[in-house]
């Protein structure tokens, strides 16, 4: 090679590998196919591209194919003007295809709907087609993923239809760029520079989301600031909406219920007041004038100090329907959160959302979705599914998962969340007998819901790799894949993500898939085993604080949840206790109520048991607790050991960053084990089981730890 060319090639390769190594490229790395046979077969099948043009979305698809194929196949694939040449990749909407191709694929096309797509072989060509331009773009990303993960494309026939309508990220981002429960740096929305300055990140964000089928984003925190609804900010929101539109991503905002008072100069925000109604109607019209495809509002009302209709003696129905009417003429929706609990309600917090919302089933307007967290408390490492799923047949219920790891080790711990999501989606509500899974509630098939959705609280920030922990990307990715298809297996998602992100080498993919799948159980074990929950320290939620019992609101105290005493530990939610189990279908309630059938993973969620209660392995509850904490620590050690063997497959930076993080994770896993067990020992008065490593520090030491600057802390909004 010529000296100069060699020099520039080296520089180019260096730049490419740097951007691969720093994680910015996410799962869209498009590394050259290493497998020679596959490379040849791909090159033979794709000798040219015929691509429909016309819209911005189609242009994006075309650009993505150029970028992807030239890198993956390491050759420039020419565009041609006819779809009839052999070995051409034909990409376009159905109406645009040759009549002959249309006839051939007619059957599949009949069932193609929403933004689904079809990838199929026709004679010597591969066709990517859809009813909408966005469907074409989704098909393009899917096809590129086939190549990236080195799957065969010979005789490819893949029909994909998204199973939910609204696949959305919820950013808990504040206007000052702090992110509530965000652990990956500042908010990516640079409000101060908008609308004039379009950060490249906005485009890259849209592209990444489109690549996994996410089609909506709520830009602002549910602990909302009314200012985002003022003209000054609407202009900025419009600029973002304009960037996202060709990627099929709609923008939504959080609506602060008291906005008519705060920015509208009204004296009330009563949803039944005609002036208030008019104010919101005008506000919606103003937003839609700037953003004709604005998605709608997300609302946290009468929850944790946020204002809402109850401030005026009105109900959630009154509040939600009032807002729904303002966006209905523009095809907008209202996503009304069910995360409510009150310090004035002495009943079990786990019961409150159900008690409040289930009687309202059928009373909401058609464009209202109720957004329900996966479990009845709050994104804990493990919770049983929320009893509202399966109890509101007449109301669209959206799933709310948390992608950011508020209670699962921030962006320091490697925890693969799709495993948690899958557990919830697979859970059986028994609403209409066996097989009435949560997934069927979410995709609307159980009660033929007209509108469906899934929300994920984003883990995205300004860190170069977007999510802080490199494996945090897998949680964003996996969330998107499950929002598209809630029936996907978490294992398949892990494998796919590993191939896209790191390597296709089986010696990497197989052990790492295993590591990711087990990582979720590890965190449950070292933080909250056997159904324990809400044991974290107060405010910032960093580290263990099971001893905290002096907070003003009883249900904010960890002691409220574990109820440890000289006799035993656990929250009795059976009919002898809070009777929360009665909110589930009788089959599920009975399963949880009976000690013989209650899964041990939920034991202390539903039962208060004596320290000497014998578990299935014949050992006491106390010993089992110690064993589980130890198992969690051992599992992290196992993860560390597995990672050591991955060095040959990745760059040294990639290796180092996860290696350092796993060390911290191990340290913190031990901290959780030791602090929790020392504290519980003050009640059990029993020796630690012999298999458990003995704590090296005292309980006083752990109780003295303070972290005033832990990240993601909730701002003082009130
Ligand atoms: O989990 C709790 C968080 C709050 C959050 C709240 C919610 C946005 O600690 O920070 O507020 O849930 O979901 O509304």
What is the per-residue pLDDT across 629-685, written as a single tens digit (0 to 9) for each?
Answer: 999 999 999 999 999 999 999 999 999 999 999 999 999 999 999 999 999 999 999
CA angle 510, 439, 214 (to 5 degrees): 70
Cβ atoms of 300 and 718 closer than 8 Å? no
Tell the residue nearest (CA) to atom 11 of ligand 1: 223
What are the distances in angstroms from CA 138 to CA 93, 161, 212, 500?
12, 10, 8, 17
How far apart are the CA of 308 and the centre of ligand 1, in A? 16
- Does CATH place domain 525-571+608-704 in 3.90.1330.10? yes
Residue 11 CA to ligand 1 center (angstroms) comes to 46
Q: Distance, CA 379 to ligand 1 centroid (Å)?
A: 9
CA of 539 to the centre of ligand 1 (A): 11
The CB of 173 under 6 Å from ligand 1? The reply is no
Check if 302 has its Cβ closer than 6 Å to any atom of ligand 1: no
Residue to mutate (ligand 1; options 378, 381, 539; most atoms within 8 A of CB) = 378
- Find out whether 376 and 383 touch, Cβ atoms under 8 Å: yes
CA distance 512 to 515: 5
Region 449-475 average pLDDT: 98
CA 468 to ligand 1 centroid distance, Å: 20
Residue 692: closest CA among 624, 613, 608, 618: 624
Q: What is the pLDDT of residue 101?
A: 80
Q: Which fold has domain 166-501?
A: TIM Barrel (3.20.20)
Positions of CATH 3.90.1330.10 in the chain: 525-571+608-704
406 assigned to active site: yes
Neighbours of 658 (CB within 10 A): 20
180 close to ligand 1 (CB < 6 Angstrom): yes
Average pLDDT over residues 700-718: 82
Q: Which atom from ligand 1 is nearest to the alpha carbon of 407? A: 1
How far is ligand 1, taken at its centre, from the CA of residue 223, in Å? Answer: 8
Quote the CA–CA distance of 251 and 254 in Å, as a whole number: 10
State which of 173, 178, 179, 180 you would mutate to test the pocket of ligand 1, scoring each by most atoms of that ligand within 8 A of its C-beta: 180
Q: What is the DSSP letter of 614?
A: B
pLDDT of 35 over the 90 cut: yes
Q: Which residues contact residue 376 at a Cβ distance below 8 angstroms, ignoring those fewer than 6 apart?
A: 349, 350, 351, 353, 354, 383, 384, 386, 387, 580
Catalytic residue, chosen from 199, 273, 286, 304, is 304
Neighbours of 638 (CB within 10 A): 16
Q: Is 372 in the pocket of ligand 1 (CB under 6 A)?
A: no
Q: What is the pLDDT of residue 12?
A: 47
- Is any ligand 1 atom within 6 A of the Cβ of residue 458? no
Please indicate whether residue 262 is annotated as part of the active site. no
The single residue listed with the structure tokens 């994104």 is: 379
Instruction: Tell me the backbone φ, ψ of residue 251, rounded to 5 degrees.
Output: -100, 140
Give the mean pLDDT of 231-257: 98
Under 8 Å between Cβ of 135 and 92: no
Q: Ligand 1 centroid to 265 CA: how many Å?
A: 28
For residue 18, pLDDT over 80 is answered with: no
Kindly report the protein residue whose alpha carbon is nearest to atom 10 of ligand 1.
714
CATH 3.30.379.10 in the chain, residues? 27-160
Integer angstrom CA distances of residue 108 from 101, 163, 495: 12, 16, 28
Span from the CA of 389 to the centroid of ligand 1 (angstroms): 20
Going by C-alpha positions, the residue among 340, 373, 333, 343 that lies closest to residue 355 is 340
Return the best residue to mutate from 170, 182, 304, 308 for the ligand 1 pocket (most ligand atoms within 8 A of CB): 304
Across 282-417, where does the E strand assignment appear?
Answer: 296-299, 333-337, 368-373, 397-402
* 442 Cα to the center of ligand 1, angstroms: 22
Q: What percent of the chain has pLDDT over 70?
A: 96
User: How does pLDDT run across 101-138, given as a tens digit for each residue?
Assistant: 887 777 666 677 789 999 999 889 999 999 999 999 99
Which of 1.10.645.10, 3.40.50.2300, 3.30.379.10, 3.40.640.10 would CATH assign to domain 27-160? Answer: 3.30.379.10
- pLDDT score at 344: 84
50 forms bridges with which residues in the sheet?
Answer: 90
pLDDT of the residue at 717: 37
SS3 212: coil
Answer yes or no: is the C-beta of 181 below 6 A from any ligand 1 atom: yes
Q: Are 261 and 268 in contact (CB under 8 A)?
A: yes
373 lines ligand 1 (CB under 6 A): no
- 199 CA distance to ligand 1 middle (Å): 28
Average pLDDT over residues 682-711: 97
Instruction: For ligand 1, say whether the CB of 389 is within 6 Å of any of its atoms.
Output: no
Quick one: DSSP state of residue 647?
G
Q: Is the CB of 339 under 6 A from ligand 1?
A: yes
pLDDT of residue 113: 76
DSSP single-letter state for residue 449:
-
- Whole-number pLDDT of residue 112: 75
Instruction: Establish whether residue 363 lines the binding site of ligand 1, counting it when its CB lies within 6 angstroms of any ligand atom.
Output: no
pLDDT tier for residue 421 given thresholds of 50, 70 and 90: very high
Active-site residue, selected from the candidate residues 406, 423, 428, 495: 406
| Nearest Cα to Cα of residue 536 among 658, 714, 358 | 714
DSSP state, 81?
S
Residue with tokens 């709609």: 250
100 pLDDT band, cuts 50/70/90, is: confident
d(CA 306, CA 311): 10
* Annotated active-site residue in 25, 378, 428, 537: 378
pLDDT confidence of residue 716: 46
Atom 12 (ligand 1) nearest CA: 378
User: Which secondary-structure segment (H or E) carries 652?
Assistant: helix 652-684
Task: Point out the ligand 1 atom lying closest to the alpha carbon of residue 457.
Answer: 13
Region 564-580: mean pLDDT is 98
Percent over 90 (pLDDT), the chain = 91
Domain with CATH 3.20.20.80 in the chain: 166-501
Q: What pLDDT, on the 0 to 100 scale, is given for residue 713?
A: 84
User: What is the CA(717)–ligand 1 centre distance, in A?
Assistant: 12
The yes-or-no answer on residue 304 being catalytic is: yes
Phi, psi angle pair for 682, to nearest 5°? -65, -20
Query: Is the C-beta atom of 222 inside 6 A of ligand 1?
Result: yes
User: How large is the average pLDDT for residues 187-198?
Assistant: 98
The 3-state DSSP class for residue 401 equals strand
Q: Which of 714, 716, 717, 718 to mutate to test the pocket of ligand 1 (most atoms within 8 A of CB)?
A: 714
8 pLDDT higher than 60: no
**Using alpha carbons only, what angle is made at residue 222 by residues 266 and 472, rounded to the nearest 5 degrees?**
160
Helix residue ranges per DSSP H, 46-132: 56-72, 99-104, 106-111
Atom of ligand 1 nearest to the CA of 400: 13
User: Which class for 76: exposed (0-12), middle (13-18), buried (19 or more C-beta within 10 A)?
Assistant: exposed
- Could you give the CA distance from residue 218 to residue 597 in angstroms, rounded to a whole number? 41
State whether the beta carbon of 400 lies less than 6 angstroms from ligand 1.
no
3-state secondary structure (DSSP) of residue 711: coil
Query: What's the whole-number average pLDDT of the chain?
Result: 95
Name the residue of 171, 223, 399, 539 whose CB sits within 8 Å of the most ligand 1 atoms, as the mutation to test its pocket: 223
The mean pLDDT value for 552-557 works out to 90
Q: What is the mean pLDDT of residues 374-401?
A: 98
**Element spanning 136, H or E:** helix 133-148
């Amino acid at each position: 090679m010529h000296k100069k060319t060699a020099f520039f090639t080296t520089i180019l390769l260096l730049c490419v590998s740097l951007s691969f190594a720093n994680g910015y490229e996410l799962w869209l790395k498009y590394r050259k196919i290493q497998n020679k046979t596959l490379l040849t077969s791909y090159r033979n099948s794709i000798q040219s591209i015929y691509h429909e043009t016309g819209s911005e979305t189609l242009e994006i698809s075309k650009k993505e194919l150029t970028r992807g194929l030239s890198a993956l196949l390491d050759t420039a694939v020419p565009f041609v003007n006819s779809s009839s040449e052999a070995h051409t990749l034909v990409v376009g909407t159905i109406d645009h295809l040759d009549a002959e191709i249309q006839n051939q694929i007619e059957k599949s096309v009949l069932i193609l709907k929403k933004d689904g797509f079809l990838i199929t072989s026709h004679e010597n060509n591969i066709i990517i087609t859809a009813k909408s331009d966005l469907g074409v773009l989704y098909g393009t990303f899917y096809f590129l993923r086939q190549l990236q993960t080195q799957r065969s494309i010979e005789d490819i026939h893949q029909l994909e239809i998204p199973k939910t309508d609204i696949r959305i990220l919820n950013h808990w981002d504040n206007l000052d760029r702090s992110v509530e429960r965000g652990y990956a740096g500042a908010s990516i929305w640079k409000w101060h520079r908008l609308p004039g300055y379009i950060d490249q990140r906005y485009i890259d964000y849209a592209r990444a989301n489109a690549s996994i089928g996410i089609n909506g984003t709520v830009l602002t925190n549910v602990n909302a600031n009314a200012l985002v609804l003022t003209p000054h900010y609407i202009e900025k929101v419009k600029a973002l909406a304009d960037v996202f539109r060709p990627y099929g991503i709609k923008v939504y905002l959080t609506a602060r219920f008291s906005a008519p008072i705060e920015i509208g100069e009204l004296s009330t925000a009563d949803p039944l007041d005609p002036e208030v109604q008019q104010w919101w109607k005008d506000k919606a019209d103003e937003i839609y004038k700037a953003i004709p495809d604005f998605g709608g509002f997300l609302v946290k009302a009468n929850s944790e100090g946020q204002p809402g209709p109850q401030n005026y003696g009105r109900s959630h129905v009154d509040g939600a329907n009032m807002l729904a009417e303002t966006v209905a003429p523009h095809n907008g929706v209202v996503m009304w959160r069910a995360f409510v609990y009150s310090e004035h309600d002495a009943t079990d917090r786990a019961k409150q959302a159900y008690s409040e919302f289930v009687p309202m089933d059928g009373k909401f307007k058609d464009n209202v979705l109720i957004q329900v967290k996966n479990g009845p408390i709050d994104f804990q490492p493990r919770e049983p599914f929320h009893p509202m799923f399966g109890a509101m047949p007449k109301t669209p219920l959206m799933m709310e998962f948390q992608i950011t790891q508020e209670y699962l080790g921030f962006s320091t711990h490697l925890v693969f969340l799709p495993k948690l999501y899958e557990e919830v989606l697979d859970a059986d509500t028994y609403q209409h007998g066996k097989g009435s899974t949560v997934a069927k509630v979410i995709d609307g098939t159980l009660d033929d819901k007209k509108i469906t959705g899934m929300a994920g609280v984003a883990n995205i920030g300004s860190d170069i790799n977007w999510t802080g922990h490199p494996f945090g990307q897998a949680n964003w990715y996996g969330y998107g894949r499950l929002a598209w298809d809630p029936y996907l297996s978490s294992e398949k998602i892990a494998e796919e993500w590993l191939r896209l992100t790191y390597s296709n080498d089986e010696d990497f993919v197989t052990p790492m898939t295993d590591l990711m799948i087990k990582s979720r159980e590890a965190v449950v074990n070292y933080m909250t085993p056997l159904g324990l929950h809400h044991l974290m320290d107060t405010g910032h939620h960093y580290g263990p604080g099971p001893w905290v019992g002096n907070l003003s609101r009883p249900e904010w105290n960890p002691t409220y949840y574990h109820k440890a005493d000289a006799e035993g530990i656990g929250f009795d939610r059976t009919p002898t206790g809070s009777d929360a189990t009665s909110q589930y279908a009788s089959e599920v309630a009975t399963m949880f109520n009976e000690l013989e059938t209650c899964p041990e993973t939920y034991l202390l969620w539903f039962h208060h048991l004596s320290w000497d209660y014998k578990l299935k392995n014949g050992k006491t509850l106390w010993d089992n607790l110690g064993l589980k904490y130890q198992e969690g620590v051992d599992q992290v050690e196992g993860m560390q050991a597995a990672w050591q063997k991955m060095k040959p497959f990745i760059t040294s930076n990639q290796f180092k960053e996860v290696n350092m993080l796993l060390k911290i994770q191990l340290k913190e896993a031990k901290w959780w084990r030791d602090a929790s067990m020392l504290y519980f020992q003050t009640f059990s008065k029993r020796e630690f089981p012999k298999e458990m490593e003995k704590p090296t520090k005292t309980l006083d030491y752990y109780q003295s730890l303070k972290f005033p600057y832990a990240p993601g802390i909730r701002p003082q909004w009130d």
